[in-house]
Amino acid sequence: MSTVVELPVSAYKGPVDPDWCPGCGDFGVLRGLQKAASKLGIHPSDLMVVSGIGCSSNLPGFIHAYGFHGLHGRAVPLASGMKFGNHDLHVIVTGGDGDGYGIGIGHFIHAMRRNLDITYIVMNNMIYGLTTGQASPTTEKGKPTKSTPLGNLEEAVNPLALALVCGATFVARGFSGQVEHLSDLFAQGIQHKGFSLIDVFSPCVTYMNTYAFFKQHCYLLEETDYQPTDFHQALDKALEWGDKVPIGVFYRTVRPTYDQEEPALQSGPLFKQPLGISPEEGQRLLADFM
């Protein structure tokens, strides 16, 4: 067994300070991810953080690692390509509920059924915060918002249930107000071989401040006798909502990942494989695309 050499959390401090609203839950997510990388001893050069568009999607700019800030809803396919190109990298996708469960939901579903070996951290504030408070896919039915002043008419997407039925092999939920617990979930998700979803209750203090609700209602699955190995029990837990809201690891299983079964990737990461052409021909091809 290899020895894990922890790095200081400060090793993951980005060159730019976060510009989120004071009190935003995303601060806890950033800290949790930094602490998880520290626990696992992941060197910043082995960590890739990819995002789409939204308040939460600014996270790659605030952490010392490789980062890519992509288009709205397109973070998962970007991350997929990066993982195929170099599956030695730890690839993390960060985004919000609108980015992941709205415009990007098609990519989300297909990445799970393929069991791509990436970790998806969704900062779920149940609102479109960046665009000033419209209803999002996870806004509860009946909730008044800027776009639904008389109450949201749509049923909310249940991301955990969706992840389970679409084939995610690690499904968890955390709360940004509990950073230590959150960092442990992130570490487990990163270590898991396969598609990991960690949905995070990350309150938007400007448009949907739910800190008090989640502090009062959340309970830790780890403090019960629940075991995250039974699919049907996991689905029941994913549907649990009301006076008690579970957080923790809902489901964990093992099955082959896409890169383990794709013949073209059996010889290792694509960037390490020979092109089969001379250096001169390679330069000529590059020149054609410049």
> Does residue 95 sit within a domain?
yes
- Output phi, psi for 252, to 5 deg: -150, 130
Torsion angle in degrees (nearest 10) through CA of 161, 165, 167, 172? 20
- With a pLDDT cut of 90, the percent of the chain lying above it is 85
Mean pLDDT of 108-130: 96
29, pLDDT greater than 80: yes
Q: Considering the domain boundaries, does residue 77 fall inside one?
A: yes
272: confidence class by pLDDT, cuts 50, 70, 90: confident
pLDDT at 154: 95
In a domain, 88, yes or no: yes
Res. 2 pLDDT band, cuts 50 70 90: low
What's residue 5's pLDDT?
74
The residues near 111 (Cβ < 8 Å, ≥ 6 apart) are 76, 77, 80, 118, 120, 195
What pLDDT was estimated at residue 59? 97
Asked if the structure places residue 1 within a domain, the reply is no
Whole-number pLDDT of residue 151: 95
What pLDDT shows up at residue 282? 85
4 occurs within a structural domain: no
Quick one: which of 129, 147, 133 has its CA closest to 54?
129
Q: Which residues have CB under 8 Å from 160's CB, separation 6+?
A: 171, 173, 197, 199, 238, 250
Amino acid identity, position 99: D
Give me the number of domains the chain comprises.
Answer: 1
Average pLDDT, the chain: 94
How high is the pLDDT of residue 25? 97
Domain annotation covers residue 105: yes
Identify whether 2 is part of a domain: no
Q: Is residue 280 part of a domain?
A: yes
- At 276, is the pLDDT very low, low, confident or very high (cuts 50, 70, 90)? confident
What value, to the nearest 5°, has the Cα angle with vertex 232 and ends 226 and 237? 50
Supply the CATH number for residue 65's domain.
3.40.50.970
The Cα–Cα gap between 135 and 126 comes to 7
Is 267 a residue whose pLDDT tops 90?
A: no
pLDDT value at 187 more than 80: yes
- pLDDT tens-digit map of 139-171: 999 999 999 999 999 999 999 999 999 999 999
In which domain, by residue range, is 22 found? 9-289
